[in-house]
Structure 1
Amino acid sequence: MIRISLDVMGGDFGPEVVLPGAARALERHPDIRFVLFGDQAICQPILERFPKLKAASTFHATDIAIAMDEKPSQALRRGRGKSSMWQSLDAINKGEADVVVSAGNTGALMAMAVFCLRTMAGVQRPAIAAIWPTLKGESIVLDVGATIGADARQLMDFALMGGAMARALFELDRPTLGLLNVGVEEIKGQEQVREAGQLLREAGLDGIDYVGFVEGDDIGKGTVDVVVTEGFSGNIALKAAEGTARQIATYLRAAMSRTLMAKIGYLFAKSAFDRLREKMDPRKVNGGVFLGLNGIVIKSHGGADAEGFAAAIDVGHDMVRNGLKNKIEADLAKYRAAQAPEGATVAGNVGGEIGKQE
């Protein structure tokens, strides 16, 4: 049984999407048990429409919902201990849930997750990992927005966490990994990226095959299983890719409806276009994973529909089933032990820190 905590009030549409999405995920994964946090007056009528979901859930009434435009500091002051977002996270601390899924305000969710769950020992900053569709299947890109700017050690942490996630999600023994850079030559790029590359080469990690620097076009090609970068460039890459996908889809719709011959041609090629639409459907790869915390947190797109939110729950289910947290802790501990002087004790950061997301 995998216990999933849901911030039912999060996202652009709240319970109208979260609860139907949970019902879809339950159909795919009957081993899920949900812990729901939300406004009872709004949620209960919707929950009544899904008797199987209701039977597989425990509902907790909350009074506060975090708005999508609230600043993280404001959300912490107003919602700490009382909001559906905070209580869904705290369910991990209380031993009631194995993973949290929320479509709420990203900055507020990250701030609350750091304060509520704390970072893993030795991890300075958490990262958000995105599952990225590629020509070869899927890859993992991190960080896509949690940490703006990162030094070599933090990039090294991201590499270890991304490698562990690739093994958990893709079930690979030794995933390939590259550092995102402006060129593949070792002399190019910012100093912290070059230094992180040197750390990765010298570490000789058992569970990761470091291939060197990769460029922006390598992400879509699927050149490596894991692409590591800091949050500023990672977020720009993510938004650019999403915008390009929507742009191409708009061009195709316009081209297929321009003339009678184009419409006839579309009918003959409909199966091919359906496959293309399936590949480009952002709902299928919804669910960013917060890495480096003492608990697994999945961030759904705020505007996701029920199918998209169900996909985010699927990611959370797979992360728990394949032991993501344990894999990350083991990889971090192994690397820290290898780097520590003989006889020294590796001390960790139990408090963590968050970037300025105001």
Structure 2
Amino acid sequence: MRCDKRPRDETVEMVNDHLKFMITNKTPPLLMAWWNDMHEFRRTEIFKHLGFPIDIMRFSPDRDLIEALISFWDSTSNVFRFSDFELTPTLEELGDFTGLGKDLRSKTLIAPRSVSGNKFLEQMHIIHPHKECFDNGLISLEFLYSRYGKKEGFSDYGKQLKNGQHLPTWEKHKQEAFMVAILGTMIFPRRDKKINIRLSGIVVVMMKKKKFTILPMMLADIYRALAKCREGEDFFEGCSILLQMWFLEHLYRHRFATNFKSKWTNYILSHLDRMKELVDKLPKGVKAWRHYLLKLTASDITWNYHWFPASEVIVMSFYRPFFVLTGL
């Protein structure tokens, strides 16, 4: 038995080994069931607001890679420092990678605002919380799923929901509740797996105002999670799947510079197809990943997979004061 209790770097792990570093490693079954039961029209409406990140539900992140990457993060400059180069996720990359980067210059970034329990219920169109209660501004996925995820939610909670007993209205509210659920579980995850009720305010803004964007908030949360883990936190409270995809795309030998602006393909959904060429070359285990990253050089990195016109570059320093304010 090893004293640090980390999983072995071999493919076979001992049953008594416990994870030291944690991430959101899979999609909650309730969330996936909710999505699978969603009407296609509602899925399309959700996609209009959340873009390609919806499809991260299909992926399981590599915990070992995320843990290994942490030690290379420089929180003072917001960059990963490797042997002879630096690398960092930018708004432009994540914007086009996720499909949320269109017209960023003209959009206003969304920041979380305080939401009371009563306001949350109002925004989620719930009249009575029944026996459930809010725990320091947090709510469970089960709370939302029971009312809007299950097919029986319309009948079981009919008198507790503000829909006038009108099924199409309930379906619309179901869409809004799902957006809160996926943001709280997959995009802005917490160690306790609870959902911050402030996210309902974010969803309201996204639904009503097209000139607002959640993208800087997503990137800021990844930066914040990296900084906290570098300081000793052992749970990554950011979207680890997006971070992993962004990094691995730089290891893949793209055959040309990808112009996301002219492509309608879902670049997140097609990520696994590209990674099939890398699967046998990538390390297995934290120790192996660290050794690999230590030897990584600039010549191993694909620098031109992301293409965007110079006129659309957004100066990162403009957003930096915002980064310290977005923790949920």
Query: Same fold per TM (> 0.5)?
Result: no
Give the TM-score of the pair, scaled to structure 2.
Answer: 0.27
Give the TM-score of the pair, scaled to structure 1.
Answer: 0.25
